Structure 1
Amino acid sequence: YTAGIIGFCSGTGDMRKVVERYAKARPGNPLERFLPALRAVEGSDSHAGLGEPFTQAWVKAAEDSAFRAAQDAERDAAYFDPAVEQAEKDGLGALGQFIYYDAYVMHGAGDTEGSVGFRTMRSEALAAARPPARGGDEKAYLDAFLDARVAAIGREPSHTDASRVESAQRVFVRQGKLGLETPLRWKVYGDSYRIDGS
């Protein structure tokens, strides 16, 4: 679960929110004492007051189901729920919801320094194609969104590899797997995967 939070946290603000949730559920937990440091470094590249003691406390907390629940709740609130809600408003099926969610997790909702956020990608896609909710073709709209995402990845110094888009999500769009119907076969970062059953 340590890797899980790093995988979905776009910064110390997300970590702070998880630790705050955890503190409400389990007061006196090993991470609670780091809240002042998390608040102090939020929005910066600094790790002042964190370091190895914070990492060790995080690993210890990962054994606690209340901590894992706090991570899940923050993931849903910050990424999954808004991504799915917007996808549904745009008339997208399961594939579109997955594409939006993956973009939310990797890029965040809004632009930050050195990063292009989900809202900008969606605006660029809307300028190129109409979503199904506005009478457009779902495949054409998803292709436009993925074009915007690949362009965003190219502009971000922290993301240079667009294979998760091109060799997985784009493949599903081209195959018309808008409901993620099985079988699904894809590659990510050179590794092959498949799901044959429902």
Structure 2
Amino acid sequence: MKRAALLLLTAVPAAVAAATAVYLFGLAPSDPDRTESPKPPSRQSSASAQGLNAPAKKELAQEIVASAENSTLDWRSAYGYVEDIGDGRGYTAGVIGFCTGTHDLLTLVERYTKDHPGNGLARFLPALRAVDGTDSHAGLGRAFTAAWRAEAGVAAFRAAQDAERDRVYFDPAVRLARHDGLGALGQFIYYDAMVVHGPGTDPHSLQGIRARALREADTPAEGGSETRYLDAFLDVRRTVMKSEKSHHDTTRIDTAQRRFLYDGNLDLRTPLEWRVYGERYRVP
């Protein structure tokens, strides 16, 4: 997770707050320096497809995210990943980039320890609670990073990472996208935004980005064009990424998600090709 979850319902319009409540309770302006691309033809919603919950599509989603987060399609290789990438959120670790400074890593270790007392990370819980919300390494350091890598060799910890990824990121993002009438590509676009920006309603969160996109276009659930709405969403998200020091490279949008969109691939069908950071990826 790349942002803390700030659920400030009072800071947004009533319509957005209502949509956030839907998201929470389990219901389902262009950047001026952007290189202009030809606008795609409009296409109506493909939400009738099974979407990202289909096992093959979910696997594909993890691969596309991993290409941007870890420069590989082998997303399972990231269970033992842990480092401070200098983004002000402490250590980033694991299969979806849990952070010591944004509460999600702490929650993961707490839940894992409840089910598996005495695990190799349990002794770091006091330090993780103390640094939560900061970029501090106090009480962590090399001992913590070594313990994380060692614990990643335990099947139960890998399963715990998968479960927390789904609970906090994948499932809520897909539910919200389905509520908006979006097909597999739109569901992935929400999921990737959730991974990078986190939940919440501040302007740099998934809900904040969505709220700004809704000012530009209607969702398919509101009778709008799926392509036009997703194009607006990606415009807003690109602007948000450009405003953040650690996210100036927007190729995960420019040469991946927007390429899928402009190809009319709203169902995220394979074979699929894209580029991130100049590297080419292909899933047959």
Question: TM-score w.r.t. structure 2 length?
Answer: 0.66
- Give 1:10 deviation, angstroms: 4.3
Q: Does 1:117 align with 2:205?
A: yes
- Comparing both structures, which one devotes a greater share of its residues to helix? 1
Q: Does 1:98 align with 2:176?
A: no
User: When the two structures are aligned, how many residues end up with a matched partner?
Assistant: 194
Partner residue, 2:97: 8
Partner residue, 2:249: 161
Q: Secondary structure at the match of 2:133?
A: coil
Q: Does 1:46 align with 2:136?
A: yes
Partner Cα distance (1:36, 1:154) in 2: 35
Partner Cα distance (2:261, 2:247) in 1: 22
Decide which moves more: 34-43 or 18-27.
18-27
Pairing 1:53-72 to 2, within 5 Å after superposition: 53-72=143-162
Partner Cα distance (1:127, 1:11) in 2: 34
Task: Provide, for residues 63-117 of structure 1, a one-character-per-residue CA deviation record: whole Å limited to 9, x for no partner.
Answer: 11111111111111110011000000000000001110000001111367xx811
- Contact kept? 2:241, 2:250, Cα under 8 Å: yes
Partner residue, 1:171: 259
- Give 1:157 deviation, angstroms: 1.4
Partner residue, 1:149: 237
Partner residue, 2:120: 30
Task: Provide, for residues 26-77 of structure 1, a one-character-per-residue CA deviation record: whole Å limited to 9, x for no partner.
Answer: 1101100101110111001111101111111111110111111111111111
Partner residue, 2:15: none
CA RMSD of aligned residues (A): 1.5
- Give 1:20 deviation, angstroms: 1.1
Partner residue, 2:25: none
Q: Secondary structure at the match of 1:185?
A: strand
- Contact kept? 2:174, 2:190, Cα under 8 Å: yes
Partner residue, 1:130: 218
Question: TM-score w.r.t. structure 1 length?
Answer: 0.93
- Contact kept? 2:95, 2:162, Cα under 8 Å: no
% of aligned pairs identical? Answer: 55
Q: Which has the higher contact order (CA 8 A, sep 6+)?
A: 2
Partner Cα distance (2:100, 2:265) in 1: 33
Partner Cα distance (2:175, 2:159) in 1: 21
- Give 1:191 deviation, angstroms: 1.1
Counterpart residue identity of residue 160, structure 2: A
Partner Cα distance (1:100, 1:90) in 2: 11
Structure 2: segments with no counterpart, 5+ residues: 1-78, 82-92
Structure-2 change in CA distance of 1:10 and 1:120 (3 Å): farther
- Contact kept? 1:8, 1:75, Cα under 8 Å: no
- Contact kept? 2:100, 2:131, Cα under 8 Å: no
